[in-house]
Amino acid sequence: MPEPGRALPQPTPETQHFWDGTQAGELLLQRCDECRHVYFPPRPFCPKCVSRKVTVFRASGKAILDSYVIHHRKVPGFEPPYAIAVVKLAEGPRMMTNIVECPQTPEALQLDMPLEVVFEKQTDTITLPFFRPARG
């Protein structure tokens, strides 16, 4: 029997556009048409002013490393030690992710280092957004 892989998301009607976006190689956020607030995770209204007039837009994919742990225990789909990171997107919101194309060490993982999004297909319906050190 193959080893179980990592846990995968099951989209809901409110988040389907986000996961369609990652499949298409786009990181999609939402902006409130009324108060201009940019937010994550997805929902069909602004969590700041509760306007239902919100627009999905493609984020730059640029971020900085906000904080992380380097996990040393075995988890299905992961080879420890590996970093569980939170990045701060250029547009404002934070999101949890993994840092790829980078040693998983405190020396290599410096807070505030610039990152850029990359997409990794997991199944026919799910592609996850990861981040790597920025090349630009």
Partner 1 sequence: MPHNTVAVVGAAETSKLGVIPDMSQLQLHADAALNAMADCGLKPRDIDGVATAGETPVQTAHYLGITPTWVDGTSVGGCSFMIHVRHAAAAIEAGLAKTILVTHGESGRSGIGRIPRPVPASSLNGQFEQPFGPMGPPSLFPIPVLRYMKTYGVTHEQIAMVSVVQREWAAKNPRATFRNPITVEDVLNSRMIAYPFRLLQCCLVTDGGGALILTSAERAKDFPTKPVYIIGTGESVETPMVSQMESFTSSRAFSVAGPTAFREAGITHEDVDHLMIYDAFAHLPLFGLEDLGFVPRGEAGRFIAERNTAPGGKLPLNTNGGGLSYMHSGMYGMYALQESVRQMRGTAPAQIPGARISVCHGVGGMFAASGTIIFSNQEP
Binding site for partner 1 (CB under 8 A): 6-12, 15, 19, 40-41, 66-73, 75, 77-78, 81-82, 84-86, 94-98, 106, 111, 128
SS (H, E, C) the chain: CCCCCCCCCCCCCCCHHHHHHHHCCCCEEEEECCCCCEECCCCCCCCCCCCCCEEEEECCCEEEEEEEEEECCCCCCCCCCEEEEEEEECCCCEEEECECCCCCCCCCCCCCCEEEEEEEECCCCCEEEEEEECCC
CB of 135 to partner 1, least distance (A): 22
CB of 16 to partner 1, least distance (A): 11
CB of 57 to partner 1, least distance (A): 18
